[in-house]
Structure 1
Amino acid sequence: MSLTFVLGGARSGKTRYALAEADRLAAEGGGRRVLLATAEALDGEMAARIARHQAERGPEWTTLEIPLALPRAVAALQPRDVAVIDCLTLWLSNLMHAEAEIAEETQALIAALHQSPADAVILISNEVGQGIVPDNALARRFRDEAGWMHQAIAGAVDRMVVIQAGLPQVLKG
């Protein structure tokens, strides 16, 4: 089992990088490609965005929409699966909206990752802590929770890659 964390800003190329890596690993191992999608189509623009991403991935990908129960979905992966989680910051937003305990959910995800029978899981997230301090309490809490979650995930994976302007920089592994 390999665990890779891909972190970058909006439109940095992190999803393209993660999907290419997953395609390579699935081709080598003969496994199923699984996308665990955390986004919800709550408006027309997001529905169109989700549809565009599904079309870009193609039919060889199995997409599971998992807005909240990510640890359970990771635990249910099958041997030889190569999974991409897209993305942790949307999952965090969903958890905050559901008033879930973020640290507990993060630890449950890490435990599921380490127990999963899948060949590989690639986790994608948005770096949100490099900008200015947000002007409201909710945005500051989101930024803080994302930073703590990212630190926990980075500590639990084999490989950590930061993407900037489409260029990967390996920080770990």
Structure 2
Amino acid sequence: MIQLILGGARSGKSRFAEQAAKDSNLNVTYIATARAFDREMQARIDHHQAQRPKHWTVIEESLYLAECLMRVDQPNQLILVDCLTLWMSNLLMHENAELQSQECLKLLEVLASLQSELILVSNETGLGVIPMGEISRKFVDESGRLHQQLGQIAEKVVFCVAGFPMMLKGEK
């Protein structure tokens, strides 16, 4: 099963996804996409690390997510990816301008073949005003497109607001 968990910053989406992973009673592989470029981001990463159970396998992968998923995929496992937002940022800021579209396509292609349960966490960035900068608009547009495509594939889609999950698709 593929679950897509969306929400704004500090909406409770990661906490919800981590609880769902714990409740699955499966072995969990956590794929972290963040890179710390400053102290504030490092503090966020440290906070997330402190919340995770110590027995989870943790892999850091900031660019080649589809390849990472294929490498760790196995039955009776849950893979939690947190988060697609930072992964998208990393791709858009990469020196290879084509990498973002290539990697998003690879991700969408690999999902159908996975044996693992999968939880994807991402920030819903399309609820605010249209950004002024070109790269910011591209980020919002590309994230929105990816979310729509993932929403079609996922069996369950959840939107978190103020710590409350709202089921958009799947079990109620």
Aligned equivalent of 1:93:
89
Taking structure 1 as reference, are residues 100 and 32 closer, same or farther at Cα in structure 2, changes over 3 Å only?
A: farther
Task: State yes or no: 1:128 paired with 2:118.
Answer: no
Provide the alpha-carbon RMSD of the alignment.
1.3
Deviation of 1:114 after TM superposition, in Å, equals 1.4
Unpaired segments ≥5 residues, structure 2: none
Return the match for 1:149 from 127, 137, 146: 146
Q: Is the 8 A contact 2:4 2:158 kept in 1?
A: yes
Which runs of structure 1 show a deviation greater than 6 angstroms over 4 or more consecutive aligned residues?
A: none
- State the match for 1:48 in structure 2: 43
Residue type at the aligned position of 2:88: L
Q: Distance in 1 between matches of 2:152 and 2:69?
A: 18
How do 1:10-89 and structure 2 match up within 5 A?
10-25=9-24, 27=25, 31-76=26-71, 77-89=73-85
| Structure 1 match to 2:113 | 115
TM-score (norm 1): 0.91
Percent identity for Structure 1 against Structure 2: 40
- Superimposed CA distance per residue, residues 53-91 of structure 1 (whole angstroms, 9 cap, x where no aligned partner): 112112121110010010011112222111111001101
Deviation at 1:101, TM superposition (A): 4.0
Task: Please report the TM-score for the alignment, with normalisation by the length of structure 2.
Answer: 0.92
Cα distance change, pair 107–156 in 1 and its aligned pair in 2 (3 A): farther
Q: How many residues align?
A: 167
Unaligned runs of 5+ in 1: none
Secondary structure of 2:108's counterpart equals helix
